[in-house]
Structure 1
Amino acid sequence: MADSPRLPGVLSRLGVRRGGVLMVHSSLRGTGQSPTAIRNALLDVLGPDGTLVVPAFTPENSDTSPQYQCRTEGMTGAEKAEFRASMPPFEPDATPCTTMGALAECVRTTPGAFRSAHPQTSFAALGPRAEELLAGHDPHCHLGERSPMAALYGADAQVLLLRVGFEVCTAFHLAEYRMTPTPPTRTYRCVVEDKGNWIEYEDLSLFDGDFAAIGARLPQGLRAEGEFAGKPMFLFEMRDAVDTARRLMSGYRWEMA
């Protein structure tokens, strides 16, 4: 597949900052483009001083995730125990992030990429600020103040939704951690380092069921809209989006509880 001659121009017109930090969520199905071509287009627009970040989540290595519940549905107790015992541990340098799409896996496997160490909600990045932004990801903090999400906020990152909607906008999760009052927590478990080595920790009870509605309520001035391969794309400043989402969530989520 040939590199797209159009995407760099579309991204530049949309307002991607050269030399900036860009977090991308994407769906490439139906584009006719390889993930390598899309990665190269993004890096071309960002330039040598820019940093490209993607979520490299691995929910399938947890027995407290919806993905695990789906995969074990209908199994007997013995079958579930056998399945759980066979689950491979998270290895930052090797565990694929297939549920996050072809571009995320392409970035993760690109020579020189850096990946954060959280066993369920890691990030991968390419560029001069990759390690700075992703290092120190607390394994007990998914997407809060001790995660790359807070570092991206501090770095004035932009977020690009490439042919996906706001329902997958993980930046809104940082707003959950900053809500007033603080949301409840729950227990998470995942397997790390060696097969059968399970860790358990408490973290925020994350919820994304209202992300599409929050995105629809972002003021038009806070987001730029375009189109690529027949589907929409959105570009916005992470700080604006997180701050707006925090205000919205703080205003109505507790009324819904």
Structure 2
Amino acid sequence: MNLLEQLAALGVNPGDTVMTHVSLRALGPLENGPASLIKAILERIGSAGNLMAFVSWSDSPYEETLGHESVPDEIRDSWPAFDPEHAPSYPGFGAINEFIRTWPGCQRSAHPDASMAAIGPDAGWLVSPHEMGSAYGPGSPIERFLQRKGKVLSIGAGPDAVTVLHYAEAVARIPNKRRVTYSMPLLRAGKREWITASDWDSNGILDHYADPEQPDAVERITRDYLALGRHTESFIGAAPSRLIDANDIVRFGIDWLEQRHPITWHTSNWSSQ
């Protein structure tokens, strides 16, 4: 089967809104490179469908500003401002994202570190607004993706790459949720403006999941969800691939977190949306 037939067999349908997580290495050689996959997805979902990807930013100063209430002096005047139209994607989330970001008609959200890119008739609505302090939770592109009944299209990607589950982390009513403070340089009226924000810690929503040597909550939730068999599996190219109902896995993720970390009468520090 060709890519188009494989996408159909997996369950990608005309009119779908899909969010991709792709390993090009797992996918194998493509006759016309990554553009072949993007073209196939866009052809399969058709003119009414939307393609979305988590692209972030290759120059994000997240680590350099993490935990600082103000921008460190050593980077304040030297760091480039985030320009959504030209800032490169973060390569660590998949090389194909840069092809999506630069695709004709692609639109990109204004949050530098949590930047989302979308192609399709609802692209502008999906990516905007995207305010600092609302990276993945209420008011974010992820929430609108869920409202659009989106599907997660995982092509050769691992269970740790399911970005929509950060929404579950943001809204789950569990105690002791971790928050982080960081700053981003935005481009406003042609000038750089640093914005400092507080948000949920997507690298470990609880101390229990913050050890970089251990699976985080997203990976653990995804593994348990996949064991239920509520998704579809097939191959795209040479890559084992999955299609997941985004709302279903998010609901599962919220329940998973709340059942394992319930609020009790003696909880003195709990957080919710």
Aligned 1:22-171 pairs, distance under 5 A:
22-29=18-25, 31-33=28-30, 34-58=33-57, 60-62=59-61, 64-65=62-63, 68=64, 82=74, 85-99=77-91, 100-171=93-164
Alignment counterpart, residue 250 of structure 2, candidates 233, 242, 255: 242
Q: Deviations over 1:32-77 (max 9, x none)?
A: 1211111001111111111111111126322x43xx59xxxxxxxx
Partner Cα distance (1:84, 1:225) in 2: 47
Partner of residue 228, structure 2: 220
Asked whether the equivalents of residues 144 and 174 of structure 1 are also in contact (C-alpha less than 8 Å), the reply is yes
Percent identity over paired residues: 28
1:59–1:121 CA contact under 8 A, matched in 2: no
* 2-structure distance, mates of 1:97, 1:52: 16
> Which structure 2 residue ranges, 5 or more long, are not aligned?
66-71, 205-215, 264-269
Going from structure 1 to structure 2, the CA distance change for 1:172 and 1:59 (only over 3 Å counts) comes to farther
Corresponding residue for residue 19 of structure 1: 15
* 2:184 matched residue in structure 1: 190
What secondary structure, in the 3-state scheme, does the structure 1 residue paired with 2:25 have? coil
Equivalent residue, structure 1, for 2:267? none
How many Å separate the matches in 1 of 2:252 and 2:149? Answer: 15
- With the length of structure 1 as denominator, give the TM-score of the two structures: 0.84
The residue identity in structure 1 corresponding to 2:108 is: R
- When you count helix as a share of all residues, which structure comes out higher? 1
3-state secondary structure, aligned to 2:157: coil
Aligned partners of 1:230 and 1:26: how far apart in 2? 12
Distance 1:93 1:106 in 2: 13
Q: SS of the residue aligned with 1:144?
A: coil
Distance in 1 between residues matched to 2:240 and 2:122, nearest whole Å: 28
Distance 2:114 2:58 in 1: 8
Per-residue CA distance 1:12-40 (angstroms, 9 max, x = gap): 11111211111111111251121111100
Give 1:184's aligned amino acid: R
**Structure 1 residues 50 and 23: CA distance shift in structure 2, 3 A:** same
With normalisation by structure 2, the TM-score equals 0.80
TM superposition shift of 1:137: 1.3
Residue in structure 2 matching 1:7, options 3, 6, 9: 3
Gaps of 5+ in 1: 70-79
Change (3 A) 1:151 1:203: same
Question: What CA RMSD, in Å, does the superposition of the two structures yield over aligned residues?
Answer: 2.4
CA contact (8 A) 1:90 1:191 kept: yes
The structure-2 alpha-carbon separation of the partners of 1:184 and 1:102, relative to structure 1 and needing over 3 Å to count, comes to closer
Post-superposition shift, 1:143? 0.4
The number of residue pairs the alignment matches comes to 239
- Asked if the contact 2:126/2:144 (under 8 Å) is kept, the reply is yes
